[in-house]
Structure 1
């Protein structure tokens, strides 16, 4: 187990030290669970009261929060405790699991595949015809990458992920466990005789930009024609559905259990809360926010926050909820 002095930790954070401790720090931990050799975080005034009962020897704290460290304890005051927490977690990160072989003996790699320098392919992977994988990409065990797919440099693809044919993935992407990229979009129409459904062929692909992270068990469906597109820097949580021919701009966020129906367009920096659902052919313009559990059935203007089911301006929805409570009374 690694241990570090407060001076070593603050060399990363460059914060203001208040107090001192002789204890070495072995890990970060939340306030209530922290032990003597832990560092914790206080980013909000409401948590400051927990510091006196915490066993942590050190805390990273927002500089606007008035608090005394106590005996043999230290506070590191920073401008943004959440961002400092990210730095600390990276500092203590034990690193990724290591694949001992460049290409495991049980992996099936088509002779036409083009693998860059430092690519790692884990056990029981399948790499199809004419696949290109960029330098330094790690493919963990039991991943399937189908024909003619292009994957950029420095990507991390976790076990169980399936990337279907002809998809295009940028650089520095992370796909967590069991992600599905390029499965058929959900397209059916009633058959002429009225006795069944006719499947609409889905012959497009998925194009994913640079620095995209997709959580476990999330699905990005291929386009019916052309492409489903995920913009640079977008972050998608676990259990998220992206319907066919949807287009997501740069640096969008989608929280868990949310979903886009087919042909939805998101501008840059859109935030979709957990369990929110977006109707097909809807446009949510740049900088807009959709509250958790909302159902969006029409376009949303840039920078606007909507809430509720069906979603409307968040202020109007909050007024409706207040009015309903008064009726109950």
Structure 2
């Protein structure tokens, strides 16, 4: 068990200490569940009232929130409690699953594959022909990486993930369990004789930049002709669909159960809320936000926030909702 003094913790987050405690900190927890040996976080005033009855010995608090520590308790005031929490969570992160050997004897690795220094491959994983793994790549058990795929340094692939042929993956990426990269896009046309559907082949690939994280059970389909592209720093939640030939700029965020139809373009820093859906061939320009549950049918200008189904300017949609409530009365 990791144990930290208040001084140890403040050395990590560099805040202002208020109060004293004799208790050591062995973990982090929600304010209503914490015990005397745990720290908690208060990043919003609505949670400040919970501090009085919390059993936590330490709270990391936004410095604009007025709060007293109380007896044998400490506050560490910081500019941004959420960022401080991220730093502390990293310090408390448990040890990752153990590899007895770097390359497990039960892994299947084609003789043409190139495995970089310090890379690890777990039991039951398959590494195909002409695959290139960079240095310090971690492949957990039961991962499939098919032919001519390239994966950059320090990337981590969790169990159940399948990376199809010719994919290009950057460095410092994280793919969680059961991610699908490079499957065929969803493309069909009615047959000339009207009997059944003709499958449209997809001969492109997927290109993923550096420091991209993709959540469990999410799918990124390969391009019909060229590439489906995710730019550096994109963060994709669980159960997200990114269809063929989509192009995401840098540092886009897609929350759970959202989806992009084919050939959607996202600029830099676009945020897509949970369960939102984007029509094919739409462009959402840099800095725009799509509210949760929205359906985007048309291009969205840079910096705009849209909401609703179909999505419109968020202020306009909120006015519509107010008007509907008044009609209901």
**What range describes the TM-score normalised by the shorter chain of this pair?**
over 0.9
1:319: Cα distance to partner? 0.3
Is 1:64 equivalent to 2:64 in the alignment?
yes
What is aligned with 2:298? 298
C-alpha distance in 1, partners of 2:188/2:221? 14
C-alpha distance in 2, partners of 1:206/1:67? 50
- Give aligned pairs, total: 329
1:97: Cα distance to partner? 1.2
What is aligned with 1:244? 244
1:96: Cα distance to partner? 1.6
What is aligned with 2:143? 143
SS of residue matched to 1:59: strand
1:2: Cα distance to partner? 1.4
Query: What TM-score comes out, normalization by structure 2 length?
Result: 1.00
1:99: Cα distance to partner? 1.2
SS of residue matched to 1:40: strand
What is aligned with 1:127? 127
1:316: Cα distance to partner? 0.3
1:314: Cα distance to partner? 0.2
What is aligned with 1:318? 318
Deviations 1:288-320 (Å, cap 9, x if unpaired)? 000000000000000000000000000000000
Q: CA RMSD in A?
A: 0.5
C-alpha distance in 2, partners of 1:18/1:75? 5
1:98: Cα distance to partner? 2.0
Query: Residues 140-289 of structure 1: matches in 2 within 5 Å?
Result: 140-289=140-289
Deviations 1:93-150 (Å, cap 9, x if unpaired)? 1232121111111100000000000010000000000000000000000000000000
1:229: Cα distance to partner? 0.1
C-alpha distance in 2, partners of 1:230/1:106? 32
Is 1:101 equivalent to 2:101 in the alignment?
yes
Query: What TM-score comes out, normalization by structure 1 length?
Result: 1.00
1:276: Cα distance to partner? 0.2
C-alpha distance in 2, partners of 1:165/1:15? 48
What is aligned with 2:42? 42
What is aligned with 1:5? 5
C-alpha distance in 2, partners of 1:217/1:239? 5
C-alpha distance in 1, partners of 2:63/2:29? 20
Is 1:307 equivalent to 2:311 in the alignment?
no
Deviations 1:65-120 (Å, cap 9, x if unpaired)? 11110110000000000000001101111232121111111100000000000010
C-alpha distance in 2, partners of 1:193/1:107? 48
C-alpha distance in 2, partners of 1:78/1:319? 37
Tell me, which stretches of 5 or more residues in structure 1 are unaligned? none
C-alpha distance in 2, partners of 1:192/1:102? 54
Query: Residues 26-41 of structure 1: matches in 2 within 5 Å?
Result: 26-41=26-41
